[in-house]
Amino acid sequence: MFFQKMIVWDKAKKLTIDTYRLVKFLPKEELYSLSDQMRRAAISIISNIAEGSGRVTARETRYFLGIARGSVNELHAQLIVCQELEYLTQAQVKPLMALSDEVRRMLTSLIAKESYD
C-alpha cells in the first residue's frame, strides 16, 4: 500500500505538523529536551507508518505499525506533561490529544487487520 494514500498517515501527518507548531510555545529551556522529544515522537509516527506500508510481509508491517502506535502513546504522554506543567493550556493540547487518540485507534485496527491477512 502506498503510504500517502493511507488515511492514518494523513492524520498522523497533521498530528506531526500540529506538534511542530505547538512546541514553539514551550519555554526555551525545553528546546533540547521536551520539545525535541515531542518532535521526534511525532516524526516517528509518520515515518514508521510509511516504512511499514512498504514491507513485504504482514509481520514486518505489524512491527512498524506497532512502533508508530508506541510513538503515538509517547507523544500523548508528553502532551499530558506539558499541560500538567502549565507550559500549554488545555485548549492548546486537547485537539492534539483527540487526534492522537484517533491515530492510535486507526493503527490498532490496522495491526489487527494485518494479523488476519
pTM for this one? Answer: 0.92
27-58 per-residue burial string, b: 16 or more CB within 10 A, e: under 16: eeebeeebbebbbebbebbbbbbbbbbeeeee
More confident of the two residues 117 and 45: 45
Query: pLDDT tens digits for 55-78?
Result: 989 999 999 999 999 999 999 999
* pLDDT for res 1: 55
> Could you list the residue range(s) of the whole structural domain that residue 24 is in?
2-114
Please count the structural domains in the chain: 1
CB 101 within 8 A of CB 62: no
pLDDT score recorded for residue 31: 86
CATH at 104? 1.20.1440.60
d(CA 71, CA 99): 13
